[in-house]
């Protein structure tokens, strides 16, 4: 919950969110203000679907991770705040460009790494990165590389399994414990894995509560 300038208290989820802008480099980001959380994941992991399901707005985050396309950080905030110092939104969501295209040219991978690393290292208001992992595939080599980047940047991150409706129920807790084991020695990993399905709504409340907690609004 949070208070806006009109004195009302409202939850950050359950009200409309808006897209502010997509930025190809740090200098175009809005000035640091509210605490931010970010989402990262391989292309097609279900990142746009999860962001849309979280905020209850189908068209907010669009799939835009086509090869060769400009890679941008997309910045979203809850609607209804002026942005002035006295009326900042309580939090912001940053959607990072997807990674892991097998055919991506080296320059594109290098540009991705630079943009993301600059953001991770340079954004003091970034509270946590949610790294999305497709429940059908588990953590892959390029996910490991991103986790290492996050460890190196010393940014707190948490693993979120996506599309859990696509695997059998008993496989979910098994995957959660396997994933926890894989990240056990990683210094910046938050030791709780959240299993979600944007399709069926599973795990979304847990993720919303985790986000509220991460940005200091309480669960
Ligand atoms: P992005 O590239 O990471 O933004 O991925 P999208 O959100 O565009 O999703 C990629 C594909 O996975 C789309 O066809 C989605 O419909 C599908 N998808 C996303 N989330 C889920 C889910 O929770 N369950 C199922 N069954 N499919 C999903």
| CATH superfamily placement of domain 2-214 | P-loop containing nucleotide triphosphate hydrolases (3.40.50.300)
In this structure, the residues whose C-beta lies within 6 A of any atom of ligand 1 are: 41, 43-49, 63, 65, 98, 162-163, 165-166, 197-199
pTM of the predicted model as reported, rounded to 2 decimal places? 0.93
Reported as a single tens digit per residue, the pLDDT across 63-74 is: 655 554 558 999
Reported as a single tens digit per residue, the pLDDT across 67-118 is: 545 589 999 999 988 888 888 889 999 999 999 887 888 888 898 899 999 9
Quick one: pLDDT band at residue 213, thresholds 50, 70, 90? very high
Please tell me the distance from the alpha carbon of residue 97 to that of residue 66, in angstroms, as a whole number.
10
Q: Where are the beta strands (DSSP E) in 4-156?
A: 9-10, 17-23, 36-41, 73-78, 92-95, 126-134
For ligand 1, what atom is nearest to the CA of residue 51? 7
Reported as a single tens digit per residue, the pLDDT across 1-41 is: 444 445 444 578 888 999 999 999 999 999 999 999 999 99
Cβ proximity of 59 and 148 under 8 Å? no
Q: Which helix (H) or strand (E) holds 178?
A: helix 171-183
For ligand 1, what atom is nearest to the CA of residue 49? 7
Measured in Å, residue 86 CA sits from the centre of ligand 1 at 37
Q: Where are the beta strands (DSSP E) in 50-134?
A: 73-78, 92-95, 126-134
């Amino acid at each position: 919950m949070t208070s806006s300038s009109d004195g009302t208290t409202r939850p950050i989820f359950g009200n409309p969110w808006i897209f502010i802008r997509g930025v190809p480099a740090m200098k175009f980001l809005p000035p640091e203000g509210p605490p931010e959380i970010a989402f990262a994941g391989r292309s097609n992991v279900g990142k746009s679907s999860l962001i849309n399901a979280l905020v209850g707005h189908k068209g907010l985050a669009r799939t835009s991770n086509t090869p060769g396309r400009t890679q941008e950080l997309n910045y979203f905030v809850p609607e209804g705040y002026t942005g002035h110092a006295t009326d900042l939104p309580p939090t912001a969501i940053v959607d990072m460009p997807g990674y892991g295209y097998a055919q991506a040219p080296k320059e594109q991978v290098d540009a991705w790494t630079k943009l993301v690393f600059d953001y991770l290292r340079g954004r003091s208001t970034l509270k946590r990165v949610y790294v999305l992992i497709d429940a059908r595939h588990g953590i892959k080599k390029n996910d490991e590389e991103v986790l290492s980047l996050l460890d190196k940047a010393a940014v707190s991150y948490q693993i979120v399994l996506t599309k859990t409706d696509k695997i059998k129920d008993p496989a979910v807790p098994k995957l959660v414990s396997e994933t926890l084991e894989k990240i056990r020695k990683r210094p910046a990993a938050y030791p709780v894995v959240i299993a979600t399905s944007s399709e069926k709504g599973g795990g979304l409340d847990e993720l919303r509560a985790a986000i509220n907690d991460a940005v200091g609004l309480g669960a």
